[in-house]
Chain A
Amino acid sequence: MTDAAPEPGQPKQHKRGTASKAAPVERGDVTFIQVPIPPRSAFNRDRPAGLLLQAQVKHIHHAESARLPKEKRDGRSPEDIHTEAEAAAYIAKVTKLLHPQRRKRSKPKPAGNTGT
């Protein structure tokens, strides 16, 4: 089933820490609400990986050990991973093998990615 949307659809990319607060604006039946964006200081790739990420790393490691041949495994154990960036790099490496997909250049991502 295809219910294609008209252009334009997605929010624009934005820079962290540059938006101003604004009151909701009503235009006809539509209320536009400005969403504040986090400061640049919010990002910390060196934050210690919390219990949640540690658990995720263990699950990914379990899948890696069960699914991938030895020569394709990363070789690190969950205990070797300390920061969020290290966890993300390891998780990405295994995920790419478990769930290969073509990388396609998409439009800039909205929240949760660069510029949020």
Chain B
Amino acid sequence: MPPGLDALKHIVVLMMENRSFDHMLGSLKAVNPQIDGVDGTQWNPDTQGNQVFVQPLAQFQGQLDPDPDHAFPAVDQQIFNGDQSSPRVASMQGFVANYFQQQQDVAHSQKIMYYFTQNQLPVLTSLATNFAVFNRWFASIPGPTLCNRAFAHYGTSFGQVGMSVFYPHGKSIYERLQDAGHTAKLYYFDQQSSSLEVVNLLQHQPQLFATYDQFLADCKSGKLSDYSFIEPNYSDHDSDDGESLASDQHPDHNVQAGELYIASVYNAIQANPTLWASTALLVVYDEHGGIFDHVPPPACTPDGYSAGPAATGLNYTFNFDRLGVRVPAILISPWIPKGTVVGTDRVFEHASIPNTVTNQFIGPYPVATPREQAAQTFLDLLSLPAMRTDSVVFNT
């Protein structure tokens, strides 16, 4: 076993909200051509037939308002540009046309093609270039937040392609670990933000939860669980400490607040040398939020469910046999070679998370869905024979 895997005691996942790979990390293609980002040649047609090229003009806030549609029918249009034939090609040409529908404003619809420069996102891009960035990590479903986040917790969304995911059955990764004598914790930001996606667990298994304050304390004291899942702050609200700014990066929340949050999670782990040596941190986004990405989502192993026309809002049944749009994903550990770019031949999705965690701490788990069992695991990226001594520290 590689020494990095031998040393590994903790896996931490931070899942952010609604930004595509090209939007957040596409600029890094100029830094390293192995990173499958944008080079200015990618485009979409607008509703007047003009070519709208990607441009480095993304703003931290105020630009993607209203929130781009990312319900199942909208994402279908973004990927297939309205083509309803069978078979059809994922052209990734329908983003501008889809965003136009919300305001009927051609100029505004073009903003869906904007991406951030490297300098605008020093945290995310530094982590991507210093550790491992995934060229092919996709949302699990071409749809919205909750069904996608379900894959991170359960390896399936139980046939749901929307926001009404109430998890009628199935064992979450946290319960699996608990049953096997391991420890797991879900850290929500504060009580005003709470848990977004697994209220069912909050309702029935509150012992699995803690606040972000507790995460910081657990990192400092070295009492982190085997597996931790961190939720950002989902709203602007007042708290005992004053104004609390949403850090989830969901449009139209401020992207810089999310950068600070990612930095604080990273710093908390990195500041404890023992924890740093024994922890892998995955920063990943739940779905693309309706924002342009140029990579067609691939097919995947179905998980045995199907969603009919009433659920998809389209005239076909979705068999969970292809993935959603590509999202940013970065794996961080001192056992990863600097500048690792995970190649286009390896496809990951959110079911990779429970599959990786289960394999690492429990072993074979045959009751997981076929989809989860087929999902790639990522801990082999901790491949160095000795731990790196260089590091990045964020001044926040």
Contact = CB atoms under 8 A, between A and B. Distances in A.
A56 B261 CA distance: 21
- Interface of A: prevailing SS: loop
B206 A99 contact: yes
Question: Do most interface residues of chain B lie in helix, strand or loop, or is the interface mixed?
Answer: mixed
Interface string A1-43: 1111110111110101000001010000111111111100011
A62 B234 CA distance: 19
Contacts of B130: 31
Q: From B250, B257, B392, name the one whose CB has the most chain A CB atoms within 10 angstroms.
A: B257
Interface stretch (B47-55, B109-117, B191-199, B355-363): B191-199
CB-CB nearest 10 A-B residue pairs: A111-B260, A3-B222, A5-B272, A112-B247, A88-B237, A114-B242, A3-B274, A110-B264, A88-B192, A111-B261
B220 interface: yes
Contacts of A29: 389-391
30 contacts: A2-B223, A3-B222, A4-B221, A5-B222, A5-B274, A12-B396, A24-B122, A30-B393, A31-B126, A31-B130, A31-B391, A35-B122, A35-B123, A38-B254, A38-B256, A45-B243, A49-B235, A50-B250, A55-B145, A59-B166, A95-B192, A96-B191, A101-B211, A106-B216, A109-B212, A112-B212, A112-B245, A112-B257, A116-B257, A116-B261
Contact of B260 (A6, A32, A35): A35
Given A4-B274, A88-B238, A114-B244, 8 more contacts: A9-B219, A24-B126, A45-B237, A59-B166, A85-B238, A92-B190, A106-B213, A111-B396
Interface in B196-253: 196, 199-200, 202-203, 206, 209-213, 216-217, 219-224, 232-247, 250, 252
A95 B271 contact: no
- The residue in A34, A87, A104, A111 that gathers the most chain B C-beta atoms within 10 A of its C-beta is A111
Given A4-B221, A52-B250, A112 B194 contact: no
Contact of B242 (A47, A89, A94, A115): A115
A113 B242 CA distance: 8
Contacts of B235: 49, 53, 84-85, 87-88
Interface string B245-286: 111001010101111111110011001111100100000000
Contacts of A50: 67, 250
A101 to B, nearest CB: 7
A61 to B, nearest CB: 9
A52 B17 contact: yes
A66 B394 CA distance: 43
A92 B393 contact: no
Contacts of B240: 103
Nearest to B244: A113
B232 A112 contact: yes
Contacts of A116: 245, 247, 257, 260-261
A114 B267 contact: no
B108 interface: no
B60 interface: yes
B202 A112 contact: no
A107 B264 CA distance: 13
Contact of A1 (B60, B67, B223): B223
Nearest to B396: A11
A45 B260 contact: no
B211 to A, nearest CB: 7
A55 B212 contact: no
A42 B272 contact: no
A7 to B, nearest CB: 9
A11 B262 CA distance: 12
A106 B345 CA distance: 45
Interface in A53-102: 53, 55-56, 58-60, 62-63, 66-67, 84-85, 87-89, 91-92, 94-96, 98-99, 101
Contacts of A94: 194
Given A30-B392, A35-B122, A114 B243 contact: yes
B391 A51 contact: no
Contacts of B236: 43-45, 47, 84-85, 88
